[in-house]
Homo-oligomer: A and B are copies of this chain.
């Protein structure tokens, strides 16, 4: 029978293993804090929503799965990914599933393989190993279960023991699904996150459309840099009212620079005229990071920075399938000089909470841990994306904690698009962290009591505190719920 090793991811050495197991068990029942996900709120806004077919859930929309199959020469068309030009892609989900199952061995030794296995076994109770031979039988079982209420998103949310989950949303999003969730009286804590990348990237094709949408959403007529900032601030207020405690910002580099008001205006006007250069865009992004830090000082929203992913590296694939099909590739990063302007201006102010994520692990011990171990405003995010893996988590703890200290980290982000993968991701994090702390105990560096405290921190408390969930309840949610109860 296909099964999960109950001691998986704990170091094999008995002393360390025993310590890891002891502290893991102390944290095993803690609810999940999910402060950064890409799950859609629409999954939860109507009670009867379902997840879709097994192929849709596990393959077609999972860019981790797609990229691995694609790398081995399997065309995305045969995996059901829709083409921009509307040409044929596979519509037979059983066929897509068959291809996936036949190539399941490609995921050996990968975190994605670990999550998939755990989802199939723990969430759906699949008992036969997934292979080309068992593919259709497994499909039958999944299809049947996915239709049942216990496998609807809301039921799973409760079964997963999620205390709070945040989505990631553009400033112009109406957040209707969030309203719907609150209005339904269901009571789950699901919050938006303010992510204004599309509004700040002057040279993206869509930028001027995006500004028009911002005008509609905010009610502020944006004709100048000043009104642009006002419109963004208005939307931050709306997001905050809807329960948001954080913003999120992506950039290719960590470059920050404070432009004079006049320079900012000049560049912004060039953007409005469609004349902004790449250098304008680079400087404007660096300036807006400073501005968002200033806003965070004022409104208390936690500021997340995801730095260093080159989006849509594969232009051919991007033209054929659009974004998010697995061709975002990291590049080398520098933080010490690049973040200096922002940190010198706002880094000493504890009202700012800045959480930095990197895909360049060489910066962990070199720049980020020393910076986080100094500036009061700065915290270091957990291993991001490719590094959200057993070895990635080990390297993170190995390189960060000695210099930054655990309290300058923020626990775990599952960063999931795939809702089903959330428990498995937290489980890998918690087990790997338990094994690491078990190593500290076995090595005589901390005692069992301190190790348990560290475990509660990494599994639950740090994330809750870092994202200020302990300080903030959604006003809208509280208000609506009170009304709900009155009805």
Q: Show the binding face of A for B, using Cβ within 8 Å.
A: 4-13, 15-16, 67-68, 70-73, 105-111, 114, 310, 313-317, 326-327, 329-332, 334, 336-337, 340, 343-344, 347-348, 350, 359-363, 365-367, 369-376, 378, 386-387, 389-392, 395, 398-399, 401-408, 439-440, 442-446, 450, 453-454
CB nearest neighbor in B for A5: B444
Kindly list 5 other residue pairs between chains A and B, CB separation below 8 angstroms, not including A71-B376, A395-B398.
Answer: A108-B406, A114-B445, A329-B371, A331-B366, A389-B402
Contact of A8 among B72, B344, B348, B444 (CB under 8 A): B444
For this complex, 5 residue pairs linking A to B, each with C-beta atoms less than 8 Å apart, are A12-B15, A106-B405, A109-B440, A313-B374, A332-B366
Interface pair A109/B401, CB less than 8 Å apart: yes
Interface pair A67/B374, CB less than 8 Å apart: yes
**Chain B residues, CB < 8 A from A327:** 374
**Chain B residues, CB < 8 A from A73:** 350, 376
Given A70-B376, A450-B105, also A331-B334 (CB < 8 A): yes
**Chain B residues, CB < 8 A from A316:** 344, 348
- CB A375 to nearest CB in B, in angstroms, measures 7
- A135-B337 Cα distance, complex, nearest whole Å: 39
CB nearest neighbor in B for A435: B443
Interface pair B407/A72, CB less than 8 Å apart: yes
Contact of A336 among B310, B373, B408 (CB under 8 A): B310
- CB A81 to nearest CB in B, in angstroms, measures 14
Interface pair B330/A390, CB less than 8 Å apart: no
**Chain B residues, CB < 8 A from A331:** 334, 336-337, 366-367
Interface pair B405/A454, CB less than 8 Å apart: no
- CB A14 to nearest CB in B, in angstroms, measures 8
Contact of A68 among B12, B373, B399, B439 (CB under 8 A): B373
Given A313-B340, A330-B366, A443-B12, also A109-B406 (CB < 8 A): yes
Given A15-B12, A389-B402, A392-B402, also A374-B450 (CB < 8 A): no
**Chain B residues, CB < 8 A from A16:** 12
**Chain B residues, CB < 8 A from A72:** 376, 405, 407-408
